[in-house]
Amino acid sequence: EVQLVESGGGLVQPGGSLRLSCTASGFTFGIYAMSWVRQAPGKGLEWVSTITNSGGSTYYADSLKGRFTISRDTSKNTVYLQLNSLRAEDAALYYCARELSALGCLDPWGQGTLVTVSS
Amino acid sequence: DIQMTQSPSSLSASVGDRVTITCRASQGISNYLAWYQQKPGKVPKLLISAASTLQSGVPSRFSGSGSGTDFTLTISSLQPEDVATYYCQKYNSAPFTFGPGTKVDIK
């Protein structure tokens, strides 16, 4: 069974940093691109970032303005999202998702990890 | 960047009704369009990829159509378990933008 388990969320002050992790199981991690999608409370889905299967290419939402970095460690079956210079508007449930058959088309999704930004 | 819009933003229909949701891209995206269903408090689930390819296990009352800039998701006979918010997403190239969502309720 394919499983994606996110971790690393929590409460952080404005301007702070967090590193989110997503550990995969049940499939050959190294052949799939992976993405992060976030959802602020009561709001819609917002694509955040994607990394190709090799890690050679990464893509980001323009709104992030260089504050987030996606990476992956195939030896650990894990994809990461480094969040820096956090703002109140970054508070959201952050989902990890696997590519289906084309870059950006996502299935399945993890349960998400919650990031709260507050002083 | 290509913008995605959906209409309506919400709808209320009776059990058994035919429901249609529209998604529009500001530029052509061929058939690189996915539809997701998110039930209240749950994780999003992929329903349809490539504009019209139903994912395994998704009931056949769901269907998708369209190409280029205009797409539709149709529920042929609305069921109580279909109460959810539905999102379209473009994936022809990054950014892989989602539409704002359409909330579907039972009347």
CA–CA dist B101, B6 (Å, integer): 6
How many residue pairs bridge chain A and chain B with CB atoms within 8 Å of each other? Answer: 74
Residue in A with minimal Cα distance to B40: A42
Per-residue pLDDT, B68: 98
Residues of chain A neighbouring B57 (CB-CB closer than 8 A): none
pLDDT in tens, B4-35: 999 999 999 999 999 999 999 999 999 999 99
Per-residue pLDDT, B31: 96
Residues of chain B neighbouring A64 (CB-CB closer than 8 A): none
Confidence band for A5, pLDDT divided at 50, 70 and 90 = very high
Tokens of B49: 């990829």
Interface of A with B (CB under 8 A): 35, 37, 44-47, 50, 59-62, 95, 100-112
DSSP SS3 for A31: helix
DSSP SS3 for B32: coil
Is A62–B46 a contact, with Cβ atoms under 8 angstroms apart? Answer: no
- Residue B99 DSSP label: P
Owner of token pair 């349809």:
B48
Tokens of B43: 């994780």
Nearest CA to A8 among A100, A97, A106, A96? A96
Confidence band for A101, pLDDT divided at 50, 70 and 90 = confident
pLDDT in tens, B35-63: 999 999 999 999 999 999 999 999 999 99
Residue in A with minimal Cα distance to B9: A44
Confidence band for A104, pLDDT divided at 50, 70 and 90 = confident
